[in-house]
A and B are shown apart, each in its own frame.
Chain A
Amino acid sequence: AQKVTQAQTEISVVEKEDVTLDCVYETRDTTYYLFWYKQPPSGELVFLIRRNSFDEQNEISGRYSWNFQKSTSSFNFTITASQVVDSAVYFCALSEAGTSGTYKYIFGTGTRLKVLA
């Protein structure tokens, strides 16, 4: 069965520190997508990054970077030089194909990040 595990429940860092959020997934599909979403106190899930199962190239986008390793089924997310506004709950999600071309997300339990000034 598809599953997403975020072992870190809560992380606290001091502003300007780098922080890495871990994500491990399980899937039998050969084609899948992985996502990171941020959930501020307002409740809305905000899309951050996406990676497909065929592309293991790691990238950097501004202060965000990600490390996708298919061999270990991990999709870790790093924030460089953290800021107080980064404080939120971060969710890793796996896109699972359904019928009729539809798909759904399987989310991890989330990691609460607290960035202290």
Chain B
Amino acid sequence: DAGVTQSPTHLIKTRGQQVTLRCSPKSGHDTVSWYQQALGQGPQFIFQYYEEEERQRGNFPDRFSGHQFPNYSSELNVNALLLGDSALYLCASSLTGLMRTEAFFGQGTRLTVV
């Protein structure tokens, strides 16, 4: 049973560019959440997708957008990249409505903006 997979693992972009990160959830999971983890910090919630809709959003600007596909996989898009967007981006999958169950995380995409 494959866990959460993310691609690419590493990425280097230039300021002002746009980037797309991808995530495939754990088999059987229907909800995907994205987190940003700056160096030395804990993960910060970006947004969450369920039934192809954004259900919750953290304190991130509109430059951050996402999408969920019918097969539950998801994309995170960031426009007009800033140096401060450099971070590890983690995808988590879970089952909606089951607060008691843990989320499963991928290994993340390390984004460097130069």
Contacts and interface: CB of A to CB of B under 8 A. Distances in A.
B112 to A, nearest CB: 14
A57 B88 CA distance: 35
Interface in A92-107: 95, 97-107
Contacts of A6: 42
Nearest to B3: A44
Contact of B102 (A50, A98, A108): A50
Contacts of A106: 45
A31 B100 CA distance: 10
B96 to A, nearest CB: 5
B105 A98 contact: no
A19 B86 CA distance: 32
A105 B100 contact: no
Nearest to A50: B102
A81 interface: no
Given A47-B104, A52-B100, A102 B31 contact: yes
B50 A100 contact: yes
Contacts of B97: 101-102
A100 B45 contact: no
A2 B35 CA distance: 17
B102 A47 contact: yes
Nearest to B33: A104
Contacts of A43: 88, 90, 107-108, 110
A98 B43 contact: no
B96 A50 contact: no
A42 interface: yes
Contact of B99 (A45, A91, A97): A97
B56 A33 contact: no
Contacts of B106: 44
A62 B95 CA distance: 27
